Chains A and B, each alone.
Chain A
Amino acid sequence: MNQRLRIVKTILWGLVGVLGVVTIARFINGLGPTTGLSDAAPWGFWIAFDVMAGVALAAGGFVLVATVYIFGLERYRPFVRPAILTAFLGYAAVATGLLYDLGLPWNIWHPMIFPQHHSVLFEVAMCVMLYLTVLALEFAPVVLEHGWFGHPLFRTVLGLVKRFTIVLVIAGIVLSTLHQSSLGSLFLIAPFRLHALWYSPVIYVLFFISAIGLGLMTVAMESLISGWLLGHKIRTDLLSGLGKAASFVLGLYCIVRLGDLAVRGVLGSAFNGSWHATLFLFEICICALVPAILLSMRRVRTSITGLTICSSMTIIGMILNRFSVCILAFDRPLAMSYFPTWIELAVSLGIVAGAALIFLFFVENLKVYSEEDESDAHSVGTSSGFNPGAFHDLMPESVAGPRRYSLVLVAAASMAVFLLPDAAVLGEQSVSTPVLGVRTVEGVKVKDSNGGGVEFMLASAQTKGKSIPLMMIDGNRDGRLVFFPHENHVKELGNDNSCQQCHHQNMPFDKNTSCFQCHSDMYEASDIFSHDSHIKHMEGNEGCVKCHDDPTQVKSRQTAKACQQCHSDMIAADTFRARPAKALVGMATGYMNAMHGLCIDCHERKIKEKPGEYSANFARCDTCHGDPANADLHGAGPYSLQLVKSAKP
């Protein structure tokens, strides 16, 4: 084995190790903690790269098969087996990638039993599934030729597959035509979201032509890589033929794409200098225009450098095209940005690395390449002299390889564990939203502009009347606040003896604890029970039974006595507060829940008690929230800016 191959394999094993770790995180904790996806960007890197680009990159299989079997161009036969193997592994990688992206991957077989033939995605799913089977059968002879499969049954299968090759070939071409184009049709449903430079009524034609061009260039790239890596002879004569064909196809792609823009009358917007226009020009130049021109020159397409540059450009350009359609030019009306997390990249890279390792396994153990191609193999990189630092010189070759790869696998996996974000390990964490106390401001009482009731607003030069203290209740300081006239409530509820009706009295020597001291998170319940302080005041271990009174039960918070059984004075008889359920012992509910529970409960009670004095609206949200006269102070909500932005024509 040569040095280059060893290094490449080491890297691939490392990527697979990382994949193993992130796979566990992804399936235990779901998509939210591990990806950058959101309601505004439901499709991200995995769909764009693993599925859209993956399928297009694997188009080499059907293009080469058609060239050799249908058009009878026998000289390209050496490319067929590697191309079919790449396509097969490519589609297997697409399916694997999809399992990560699907929210409910165990239902992936549902399209078979719940078909919905109006869905483009249904057609894609069925075609990909069938084509994966066709590719497996097309590749089967390579595996079955091996000595392991000497059993007569395998011989019969081999005979059958060989006999019906042409049927498989035609089925494969039809299926590929359908789903390569349909991946484009998927986006026909989103005319308002996909930018006009990409959204075309004939997007499926563009996807199909680009897949053929890309397929040809991927086969060329693959041949160049196997030449570099495995030392196979690079057949420049054949590759130049592929290059010539690709130059025609990519040229056709440019004509159709630009022609389509011209017909739809949006060609002008490709040159208006906007971000989308720049992206479009860059994309079409590197994916088709420049490679088509370069490859039309004989000098370029017969040189290894020329071919390498052209195929890299096409591959990168076409991947970029799929990214544009899926992410970059796909408008998110909710104005949220999407950026993939490293976990998403690690999954995609890991799957590709795994597929590459399987490819190398097949190449090493089966006859994927023809004899004459392999004649030059094993000559690269092995001629280097003695290297005292090299790992493989210290132990026999057969042991060095596996050991090195296992070591890298484990090292990469453990590195990945350390790099995982908290959420990916522990699951989606609730965002803590600390609550701040109320602020008291000068306010005035005014008559409600809509008639009926009173309203409170900030005192200013314009306001008239006596100023009173107003509490601004805005626990998380998001600007959506409630003016609370504390004094009025005190007066209404019975002056000095009314505190306990709303306030707890559980802080030592306290009559009216501020709400935010215990309800310290806006949304989440917080723990307010101090076990240590109870131990201290109840003579250490002897005090356990005072609360954990049932010896048959495990001593836990749920099985202990309720707080008010001892602290009877904590809850007054005339309180409005809801009595805590047993399950919530020692926990203070979120600030928002506490406020809503207390205020709405009491307001509802007041309507019932004095229906004449209080209107039916008294317990509704806008009694406290939303003060039209001071709308700017209340803020327009967290969404206002973004919605105004997207509302622009």
Chain B
Amino acid sequence: MNTVAILTDITKCTGCESCVSACRVENQLGPDKAQRQSHAIDDLSSTRHTTILRRPGDHFVRQQCRHCTEPACVSACLVGAMQKTPEGPVVYDKKKCMGCRYCMVACPYGIPRYDWDKAIPYVHKCTMCYQRINDDKMPACTIACPEKATIFGTRDEMLKIARQRLKDSPNKYVQKIYGETEVGGTNVLYISDIPLDFLGCKPDMGDTAMPELTWAALSKVPPVILGMGGLMSGIYWIIGRRMKMQELEAAVVTSGSEEKE
């Protein structure tokens, strides 16, 4: 199925943060606050769903949710508050959420943020402006970008454009589409002239989708129920029977000895 995707070209980004402002307006995030925890990290926060990371040598890298094809956060959420929509974006339903924060532990890119300063807190992350995509509009950040450094379209189109650019200027780009296959593929793709390994938890995260790792353990649940239940019942039956036999034997022996006397 053809899903939507965002392609960000690091070579074109000038770091103007128009995307950040557009996101703030579209998602009504309110003013950026000096929060105890947020500014010390990568500047993503519950009031900042996308941000620009400055890298040495005038490189600007936009940080946002990757909308993985097989998202770890969706498989982790025990109430299904994180959902992968058929169109591609990963969205969050705050009515279902119970606040366990397992999604934040699970995300290989460390994206979800939390309302730490609120008594009724929710998880926050980019939703690829799902409300707009539904109306056949583009995400606010891709419209706002004056350099067309971050563009929006179907995933196939984006991959095609990315491949074309890599082919056209092979010396300019790192010959890799970030997000094509990583952790099972993502719906936010990057092409770049600097390595973008620093964006994930580890430089090379492989192509295995995260949910497969837990499913390997989780799929063993039915056999464990049957096996453990059967084993315990079996042992109970055998040992109970043995004890009964022993008692009977003892009774026979004592009655036999009584007879002799």
List residues of A whose CB falls within 8 A of some B CB: 27-33, 37-40, 42-43, 66, 69-72, 101-105, 107-108, 110-111, 114-123, 125, 166, 169-170, 173-174, 177-178, 181-182, 185-186, 188-193, 201, 204, 331, 333-336, 427-428, 430-431, 433, 522-524, 590, 593, 616-617, 620-622, 626, 628, 631, 636-640, 642-644, 646-647, 649
Contacts and interface: CB of A to CB of B under 8 A. Distances in A.
A204 B213 CA distance: 12
B211 interface: yes
Contacts of B119: 27-30, 427
B218 interface: yes
Contacts of A29: 119
Given A166-B236, A170-B233, A431 B225 contact: no
B53 interface: yes
Contacts of A181: 217, 224
A398 to B, nearest CB: 42
Given A66-B232, A431-B36, A620-B16, A118 B211 contact: yes
B117 A428 contact: yes
Contact of B102 (A30, A119, A201, A643): A119
Interface string B20-32: 0100000000011
Contacts of A642: 41-42
B229 A121 contact: no
Contacts of B228: 173-174, 177
16 contacts: A27-B119, A29-B119, A31-B114, A38-B116, A102-B100, A114-B79, A116-B80, A123-B221, A185-B218, A204-B217, A333-B110, A430-B33, A620-B146, A621-B18, A640-B56, A644-B198
B98 A31 contact: no
Interface in B52-77: 53-56, 58, 72, 75-77
A494 B104 CA distance: 54
Interface stretch (B155-163, B167-175, B200-208): B200-208
B250 interface: no
Nearest to B93: A114
A636 to B, nearest CB: 5
Greatest chain A CB density within 10 A among B202, B205, B217, B225 is at: B217
Interface of B: 14-18, 21, 31-45, 53-56, 58, 72, 75-81, 96-102, 104-106, 108, 110, 112-122, 146, 197-198, 200-203, 205, 210-211, 213-218, 221, 224-225, 228-229, 232-233, 235-236, 239-240, 243
A54 to B, nearest CB: 16
A622 B198 contact: no
Given A102-B100, A621-B16, A177 B38 contact: no
A428 B37 CA distance: 11
A42 B15 contact: no
Given A66-B232, A182-B217, A189-B106, A336 B97 contact: no
Contacts of A335: 41
Contacts of B75: 118-119, 189
Contacts of A121: 76, 78, 100, 102
Contact of A118 (B33, B99, B218, B229): B218
Contact of A119 (B58, B77, B197, B239): B77
B199 to A, nearest CB: 9
Contact of B214 (A28, A120, A620, A622): A120
Contacts of B235: 70-71
A476 to B, nearest CB: 9
Given A331-B201, A642-B42, 19 more contacts: A27-B119, A28-B119, A39-B104, A72-B243, A111-B78, A118-B75, A122-B79, A170-B236, A173-B228, A188-B217, A189-B75, A189-B210, A336-B40, A523-B34, A626-B15, A638-B43, A642-B41, A643-B55, A644-B56
